[in-house]
Chains A and B, each alone.
Chain A
Amino acid sequence: MSVTSTPAVAVRGADRRRIARWVQDNGVYVALAAVVAFNLAATPNFASLATVRTQLIQVAPILIIALGMALVIGTEGIDLSVGSVMALTAALLPLYLGYGTAPAILISLAAGAAVGLVNGSLIAFIGVQPIVATLALLVGGRGLALVFADGRLKQIEDPNLLELGSGSVLGVPIVVLVALVLALAVAFLVQRSTFGRQLVAVGGNRAASELAGIPVRRVLIWVYVLCGLLAAVAGILATARLRASDPSAVGTLIELSAITAVVVGGTPLSGGRVRIVGTVAGAVLMQLITATLITQDLPSSTAQIVQAAIIVAAVYVQRQRGSR
């Protein structure tokens, strides 16, 4: 009996592994499809253009930050400072809008890149743990933003900047367009460029990458600079949409939402693998779940508990690959 059943068990084991693999790779898309299907059936007016617009606009800043976070997590790192970078850009924008929209935006982007450079240098050259290095900038960055802004909320009146936040091109909101273009660019970077290969190699095995002659430190610094830049873009867009600079509130806890989107999208925290399409799907999925729970008249407390359960389920499914 046991002799005859052995091959069958082996086959079933292989099957199960293949199924697990498939769920790991495609679970986020299945979940997304299920949530969309549920909404099509249960939520009136879900299939309207207005709903799609609202959801996409709301998810855009998180999505942009999640793109940078995916790169960082791919190198086995993490960036907790993204929310504070948003605050910093929000504080800097009104200070420099007097010189024109473009200079103000450029200075904000430079601030994001600078924070990324500090993060990257601490991590690459001094060997500080990514959590601690970026934690220091999370604490210090928002403080600095509040010092710049004098702790006040400021109205934004610059028409160009406001247009960036609420305008559309061919019916697509500019905010969404920017997120889409950035997602494509980052996906190209990861899958088609040398830098992308090097990034994944560094995350997979740093020592081996060093031996293979990959400029590990340069790659790490660039990854954190990119993440800072993307966070600055998200900060600019959020400020433009809000029509006000609010450094004390903008982007608080967004690092957690971004990490969630990345992890739910199938990028393991252990590094060596980056999935940009999955990250996009993860961000949209988490946004839709929150929206669904709200439209179903469930309180936000339930929404948070459901999100927690989904995070645990997502990492549980990916556990085998992560521990390998």
Chain B
Amino acid sequence: MSESLERSASGVLTSVPLADEVVAVDEGGPAVSDRARRGERLAGLAQRQGAWVVLLLVCLVASLSFDSFATTDNASNIAIQTSFLAIVALGMTFAIISGGIDLSVGSVFALGGVLAAYGSQYGFLVGLGLPLLAGAAIGLINGVLVAKGGLAPFIVTLATLLGARGLLLAITDEGSTTFLVPRDSAFLELGRGELLGLGYPVWMALVLALLAGVLLQRTSFGQCVFAIGGSQDAARLMGLPVARATMGVYVLSGILAALAGALLAARSGSGVPIVGVGLELNAISAVVIGGTLLTGGAGGISGTVAGVLLLGVIQNIINQIGSLNSSLQAVVSGAFLILVVIGQTYLSRRQRR
């Protein structure tokens, strides 16, 4: 109990930059503790923004090693390839900061794509609205079971992972039908259009990341999410709307996952039932690499964006090397995840000390 309260305190500290200074002024201790505090703050900074530093280093090394890496073509390639995962990972960030997890995003992603392709036959708005509605509905089921039913998020979203895939199979005739987006549909433009050399999905991911950042850091909903992740009991005792915020988190995650699936369908022109298997694991990896703690109560959107880009850049580099076995990519990702997590565990322990 005391441990989780501490965590909630650190969660609030990381979320409100001013709080650090307030504490420093309050205590005004001797020079030794000042230094210790600086070390602590540095560790915190490294944990929160370390992913960006690593990303820069990796990009630097890659652009020195490969001529074709630091080109606008390659950059816009990486951007478009990571944009779908980025949108999913935004929702996952909220779920993990609230102390939960959302395993259903991969299935919802696929469901969103299939419903978008199906709906786009009836016009642009149906094509976009149908997947978002379905995503929100599955998110709501997750949220109600977690918040009102008091069930473990891991197991609830595991069930909806299965359920949503089942639903998907039912819609697509046991996976044998692939819905195509009509060729003249305006919906295709959503995935294929470009602005200033970047595809619409990239812009969408950027705007959504900004909005998610504001929602998390500057609104009472975001603060409530941090508080729940720190200590659900404490948040409830403080009178925060814990159930409502929890449901909001899962609905948000469901909507974002379905939107990402819809964008992929718009880009590829079809709703493929088998996409998104294991996507939840990539999203969790990106969020964790980005410095959000799985214990909840601490983390941020900017780290998640860096985590997603880092995964994308690693994949890109392995593709560049070419002669390497493509299975090595998984080995590198796994090893990388272990290193990052070891580093983070060390940093967050140092911070707390």
The distance in angstroms between the C-alpha atoms of A312 and B161, with both chains bound, is 12
Of the candidates B145, B284, B295, which one forms a contact with A135 in the assembled complex, judged by CB atoms under 8 Å apart? B284
Contacting chain A: which of B83-91, B222-230, B333-341?
B333-341
Residues A319 and B331 in contact in the complex (CB < 8 Å), given A269-B154, A307-B162, A311-B155 = no
Asked if A128 and B342 sit within 8 Å, CB to CB, the answer is yes
Minimum C-beta distance from B328 to chain A (A): 6
Measured between beta carbons, the chain B residues less than 8 angstroms from A303 are 166
A146 cross-chain contacts in B, Cβ below 8 A:
325, 327, 330
Closest-by-CB residue of A relative to B325 is A147
Q: Is B349 an interface residue (CB 8 A)?
A: yes
* CB < 8 Å neighbour of A308 from B162, B345, B346, B349: B162
Chain A residues, Cβ within 8 Å of B337: 132, 135-136, 139-140
Is there contact, CB below 8 Å, between B349 and A143?
Answer: no
Complex-state Cα separation, A150 to B295, whole angstroms: 38
The one of B145, B166, B330 in contact with A142, judged by C-beta atoms closer than 8 angstroms, is B330
With a CB–CB cut-off of 8 A, which chain B residues contact A23?
Answer: none
Report whether A305 and B342 are in contact in the complex, using a CB–CB cutoff of 8 Å: no
- On whether A135 and B165 interact (CB within 8 A), knowing A140-B335, A260-B158, the answer reads no
Question: In the complex, are the beta carbons of B165 and A132 less than 8 A apart?
Answer: no
A91-142 contacts to B, CB under 8 A, are 122, 126-129, 131-133, 135-142
A263 part of interface (Cβ distance < 8 Å): yes
Question: Of A131, A137, A311, which contacts B162 at CB under 8 A?
Answer: A311
Chain A residues in 8 Å Cβ range of B288: 132
Given contacts A128-B341, A311-B155, contact A301 B166 (CB under 8 A): yes
Give the one of B284, B335, B338 with max A CB within 10 A.
B338
Contact partners of A136 in chain B: CB under 8 A: 334-335, 337-338, 341
Once A136-B337, A143-B329, A151-B327 are accepted as A-B contacts, the answer to whether A259 and B158 lie under 8 Å apart by CB is yes
In contact, B170 and A305 (Cβ under 8 angstroms): yes
| Chain A residues, CB < 8 A from B130 | none
Q: Pick the contact of A323 from B150, B156, B160 — CB < 8 Å?
A: B150
B75 partner residues in chain A, CB cutoff 8 A: none
Q: Are A143 and B294 in contact (CB under 8 A)?
A: no
Contact B151 A147 (CB under 8 A): no
A301 touches B155 (CB 8 A): no
Instruction: Decide if A315 touches B162 in the complex (CB within 8 Å).
Output: no
Contact status B155-A315, CB under 8 Å: yes
Q: Residue of B at shortest CB range from A268?
A: B152
- Judged by a CB distance under 8 angstroms, whether B159 is at the interface is yes
Nearest opposing residue in chain A for B152, CB measure: A269
Nearest-neighbour CB distance to chain A for B157, whole angstroms, equals 10
CA distance A140 to B334 in the complex (A): 4
Q: Which residues of B contact A135 (CB under 8 A)?
A: 281, 284-285, 337
- A322 adjacent to chain B (CB < 8 Å): yes
* B327 and A133 contacting across the interface, CB-CB below 8 Å: no
Q: A131 — which chain B residues lie within 8 A by C-beta?
A: 101, 154, 284, 294
Contacts of B327 in A (CB 8 A): 143-144, 146-147, 151
Task: Mark B69-101 against chain A: 1 for CB-CB distance below 8 A, else 0.
Answer: 000000000000000000000000000000001
Report whether B155 and A263 are in contact in the complex, using a CB–CB cutoff of 8 Å: yes
- Closest Cβ of chain B to A122, distance in Å, is 7
Q: How far is the CA of A263 from the CA of B159 in the complex (A)?
A: 12
* A11→B190 CA distance, assembly (Å): 62
Is the CB of B167 closer than 8 A to any CB of chain A?
A: yes
Shortest distance between the CB of A81 and any CB in chain B (Å): 9
Interface positions of B from 173 to 229, Cβ below 8 Å from A? 174
Q: Is B149 an interface residue (CB 8 A)?
A: yes
The 6 A-B pairs with the shortest beta carbon distances in the complex, nearest first, are A140-B334, A143-B330, A304-B166, A308-B163, A301-B169, A146-B327
Residue pairs across A and B with Cβ atoms less than 8 A apart, 17 shown, are: A128-B342, A136-B335, A139-B334, A141-B334, A142-B330, A143-B329, A146-B327, A270-B152, A303-B166, A304-B165, A305-B166, A307-B159, A309-B163, A311-B158, A311-B162, A312-B156, A319-B150
Q: Given known contacts A133-B341, A139-B334, what 18 new A-B pairs fall within 8 Å (CB)?
A: A78-B154, A80-B281, A131-B154, A135-B337, A136-B334, A139-B285, A144-B327, A151-B325, A256-B162, A259-B158, A300-B169, A300-B174, A303-B166, A305-B166, A307-B159, A309-B159, A322-B152, A323-B150
